Amino acid sequence: MSRLLRTTLSLFVSGLILFTVAGCGSDSSSPPPDDLAAEEPTFDEQYRPQFHYTPRQNWMNDPNGMVYNDGVFHFFHQYNPEGNTWGHMSWNHATTEDLVHWEHQGVAIPEEGNEMIFSGSAVVDENNTAGFGTNDGQAPMVAIYTSHYTIAEDSTDQAQSLAYSTDGGETWTKYEGNPVLEHPDPNFRDPNVFWYAPGEKWVMTIALPTQHKVQFYESTNLKDWSLMSEFGPAGGTDGIWECPALFQVPVEGSDQEQWVLQVDLNPGSVAGGSGGQYFLGSFDGTTFTPREGGLETAPHWVDYGPDFYAVIPWNNVPEEDGRALWMAWMNNWEYAQDIPTSPWRSAQTIPRSVHVRTIDGTRRLVQRPVEELQQLRENAVQLEGRTIESGMTSLAEDGISGQTLEIVAEFEPGDAETVGVAVREGKNERTIVGYDAATDSVFVDRTTSGAVDFHDAFASRDAAPLATPDGRVKLHIFVDRSSVEVFANDGARVLTHRIFPRPESDGVSLVAEGGPAQLVRLEAWSLRSIWPSR
């Protein structure tokens, strides 16, 4: 069937098609309404994250093409080269050698004509299976992305395409035979490709967003693909499915690995709006089978905060490293285009390692911050064995305050109803990270975190159930100029939030309500900026 005909047919479901670029917001053909790109970035703007990746300027969404090659972690992202809201989607490129310091590399794969470059992945084609190699001994890098075609005013189509680099990622060429994979459903996107060594083939995981399905394809040359199997609907289906990834993660305390299928949901996620869910299971080279029998299971959430979306793992991480590593878009489609930052908009989370742990007799996905971030620590402070009286106890006299902090605190809640830490505290402003004994949950309350009025859905208190078998709660908190990431009980639960406090709101307090609690120990560090200009 011709693309035009398929697209015309697809208009019958145009309510659903709204999707997507409803997800994504704006009309790509008109200029963004609030183009702030003209401002010169200083990397010292009020809300500019100091240890999270942000583009120099303009709009960013999903991480794309994350792949390790020859000592360098490559990272691309959805980018609007022309403005500070969604549109003109292209892949912008950045690199890091230590997962902490980033170098901006510029636009790698641009929008052209009626084709925007939507999300996807990248691989290192060691065996030159696609034939893009030039015999200079350097393995080609190949990006597999979604071509989003505008066909008429109200009609779009999506198919999968390739671009390649034979100079280690510096320059990229779109493959002349694009697209390489089409589908009758005009919503067919976000290919995530990896080398499946036992079958000596490439495997692609890809979303049919409005059908709540992922499909698995195989190929020996990245150009010819055949369908192997499908998964879904399952778990959370209140929104469309996007950005899936199938990969293996280490099982803590063993040398085993576990297959994980990560699928994003927008809207309908645990904290409202967009978010990620996961399924643990097995993969035999053809089919993914979830551990938990039927497909009717309640969703398992990757992150209980509102600002964790479109996560994908780094491909090709060296075996001797042994980690499964990923990073997510730290924003939410519900209010993404309204967050008050310029001349850029959106940030990525800190890179995290992903593991499987048995909690309460069940295997669960857990996340930990990468250890590499410890190089940013300075001004260490340690506190031990304190009773926290009901109310707020400022830690200013202990030398703990700042806009960029790492805090590790262990509590025994005792008689307290809630216990925790307030960060980015100032006049009428604070973000509270705590444990709620009545509901056995860890929460982040950003209702008074600073600027919250830019969107009705932003002010929120979000919680995650937290088992405390030894009666203790451990909170590992990363605070930046406009975010708070919380890893509770060694990453058993994670909550990611954007916040927009005033610069002078840099206080930190211990918090207890309903009775005293015990602080077992607390360590805090200021974190240095990663941007050279600072």
Burial of 392 per CB tally in 10 Å (0-12, 13-18, 19+): middle
Q: For 118-132, give the DSSP string.
A: EEEEEEE-TT-TTS-
The token pair at 438 is 């009545």
Structure tokens at 25: 């917001």
Give the SS3 label for residue 337. Answer: helix
Which residues pair with residue 463 across a beta bridge? 443
* Least Å from the CB of residue 20 to ligand FRU: 6
By CB under 6 A, name the one of 10, 92, 129, 146 that touches ligand FRU: 146
Interface residues for ligand FRU in 432-451 (CB under 6 A)?
Answer: none
Q: How far is the CB of 21 from ligand FRU (least distance, A)?
A: 8
3-state helix, strand, coil in the chain (%, to 5): 5, 50, 45
Q: Which is nearer to ligand FRU, 64 or 353 (CB)?
A: 64
Options 111, 242, 425, 462; binder of ligand FRU; rule CB under 6 A: 242
The window from 19-27, 312-320, 510-518, 519-527 that contacts ligand FRU (CB under 6 A) reads 19-27
Instruction: Write the CB contacts of 419 (distance below 8 Å, at least 6 apart in sequence).
Output: 388, 411, 413, 434, 435, 437, 473, 510, 511, 512, 513, 517
Cβ proximity to ligand FRU: between 77 and 355 the closer is: 77
Could you say whether residue 189 binds ligand FRU (CB under 6 A)?
yes
**Residue of 10, 54, 69, 119 interacting with ligand FRU (CB under 6 A):** 119
- Burial 487-496, CB ≥16 within 10 A → b, else e: bbbebbbbbb
8 Å CB contact between 88 and 116: yes
Residue 23 interacting with ligand FRU (CB under 6 A): yes
Per CB under 6 A, 118 contacts ligand FRU: yes
Which of residues 7, 10, 17, 24 is near ligand FRU by CB under 6 A? 24
**Interaction mask 368-407, ligand FRU, x per CB under 6 A:** ----------------------------------------
Nearer Cβ to ligand FRU (86/216): 86
3-state secondary structure of 211: helix
DSSP label of 13: G
Residue pair 491/366 in contact by the 8 Å Cβ criterion: yes
Q: How far apart are the first and last CA of the chain?
A: 55
Shortest approach of ligand FRU to residue 209 CB, angstroms?
Answer: 7
Number of residues that bind ligand FRU (CB under 6 A): 15
**CB 164, CB 142: distance < 8 Å:** yes
How far is residue 459's CA from residue 478's CA, in Å, rounded to a whole number? 20
Whichever of 113 and 469 has its CB closer to ligand FRU, that residue is: 113
78 binds ligand FRU (CB under 6 A): yes
> Closest by alpha carbon to 276, among 289, 259, 260?
260
Nearer to ligand FRU, 27 or 371 (CB): 27
Residue 73 or 118: the one with the smaller Cβ distance to ligand FRU is 118
Distance CA 387, CA 389 (A): 6
Residue from 115, 185, 190, 425 touching ligand FRU (CB under 6 A): that is: 190
**Contact region for ligand FRU (CB under 6 A) — 17-25, 255-263, 315-323, 494-502?**
17-25
Does residue number 61 form part of the binding site for ligand FRU (CB under 6 A)? Answer: yes
User: In this structure, are residues 481 and 49 in contact, taking their beta carbons and an 8 Å threshold?
Assistant: yes
453 is annotated as an active-site residue: no
- Give the integer Cα–Cα distance in Å for 388 and 513: 10
Binding segment (CB under 6 A) for ligand FRU, from list 16-24, 349-357, 382-390, 450-458 = 16-24
Q: Does 62 bind ligand FRU (CB under 6 A)?
A: yes
How far is 411 from 488, CA to CA, in rounded Å? Answer: 11
**59 near ligand FRU, judged by CB under 6 A:** no
Catalytic residue among 35, 44, 62, 70: 62
Residue whose pair of structure tokens reads 């850029």 in the numeric block: 344
| C-beta closer to ligand FRU: residue 155 or 403 | 155
Stretches 18-26, 160-168, 337-345, 424-432: which one binds ligand FRU (CB under 6 A)?
A: 18-26
Q: Which residues bind ligand FRU (CB under 6 A)?
A: 20, 23-24, 61-62, 78, 89, 118-119, 146, 189-190, 242-243, 310
Catalytic residue numbers read: 62
